[in-house]
Chain A
């Protein structure tokens, strides 16, 4: 078994009494005060997340744009100098290697990838490298925290020289936070306004950053948030979780990520299969649903259509905001073409479900 990795903030979480678990090879807090409490704090005020386990891979060089655009499904050419975009990276089969953010930096492109996929992604990028480029896996150097919630900007403003009011959604500024150089990005995984702050450094910089934000946020109701609430918050928005909703066996089109799949932008890895899939029509696609009663759909539970299994729940659970069970899963195109009753097989019992439009939670402060 490989050693469990610790972020620069692991000791801080332990000091705060976070309940620590292994997640994707990392020793991470799953909760502090409790998932529901943390979730509601982010929706109403603000929460601070350690996401330093995420990976950062830098692509530089004269051919960085051309290469990055070949690698991902979204159109990197459209990025302005201070902008980021959400995208997928596919195999030639159209299956997804990972979902990621691409930041256009002054000297290249920063690819922010999922923690559990860092080595896989890095190897994939190296394998496909072409042209005059340099690829550097800088994941271990970066501290990343996410400050999320309607009060995030008020909390962060006095701690940074970045002019937050000028940073639009999915844009960033370079500046200092708590006196240290950082990328301040108006992005997140919660549906609320907020920032993801990237900074190079070790434990002492990370603790300094974390403590300064927590101290400043105390009066605003800022709480530390673990991976448990990170998952419930993103599920309420219908955001993808790699390994659950999207995998090497699902395509961006099936996952409803056509909006980041620019088939007309020119060649990219997976495009031929995706074009064909689009022309032929999808055999299945990801749907969202809410269930009756108080039990929750969970990852792996069968999706029933007129009583017959026609798919599987990929993400599911109790929504603290809506106070009911919600989920997503792939349902066959045949079952979607006709009228019928959707249900989830919850431990042998069919529980009625109704399809809903995403996001599940529609009152987020940044939609």
Chain B
């Protein structure tokens, strides 16, 4: 895993990159979901509050919401996921990124789990 990322209890990761917050799903999440067949992306320009649903991810078996880890405006979406939703399975931290947000309050990042905290979270019975 990438050391610079922060994670949510809903299994999104966020990484600050060139002033934007890049958001994706964690490796644990993609592995639990299995084969991902569709990622419903938000519109560029849409605004989301921290914790708000901004998209949906469909695996063969299930449908899950994706929550915005921080508040902000969508500056870019990964349109490569439309033909290749499997990128989320294959390379969730890089090629499988989902959106880039312009954060309205970068201090929100501090509330999220560090990589190490997240590892502990998922090993401590995140599965219901």
Contact = CB atoms under 8 A, between A and B. Distances in A.
A298 B60 CA distance: 10
Contacts of B61: 30, 35, 228, 317
Given A317-B60, A347-B56, A34 B34 contact: yes
B27 interface: no
Contacts of A298: 63
Chain A binding surface SS class: mixed
B82 interface: yes
Contacts, number: 37
Contacts of A296: 37-38, 58
B91 to A, nearest CB: 16
A37 B35 CA distance: 9
Contact of B60 (A295, A320, A347): A320
B40 interface: yes
A36 interface: yes
B40 A295 contact: yes
B56 A318 contact: no
A35 B60 contact: yes
Interface residues of B, number: 12
Interface string B60-103: 11010000000000000000001001000000000000000000
Contact of A294 (B35, B63, B85): B85
Nearest to A30: B61
A295 B38 contact: yes
A265 B98 CA distance: 59
B38 A228 contact: no
Given A294-B82, A295-B40, A298-B63, A34 B35 contact: yes
A35 B38 CA distance: 15
Nearest to B56: A347
Max chain B CB contacts within 10 Å: which of A34, A35, A232, A318? A318
Interface string B26-56: 0000000011011010000000000000001
Max chain A CB contacts within 10 Å: which of B58, B60, B85? B60
Q: Which 6 A-B pairs have the closest CB atoms?
A: A294-B38, A318-B37, A36-B35, A35-B60, A318-B60, A295-B38
8 contacts: A30-B61, A34-B34, A35-B35, A228-B34, A294-B38, A296-B38, A298-B63, A317-B60
Given A232-B60, A294-B38, 20 more contacts: A19-B34, A30-B61, A31-B34, A34-B35, A35-B34, A35-B35, A35-B60, A36-B60, A37-B35, A228-B34, A228-B60, A294-B82, A295-B40, A295-B58, A296-B37, A296-B58, A298-B63, A318-B58, A318-B60, A320-B60
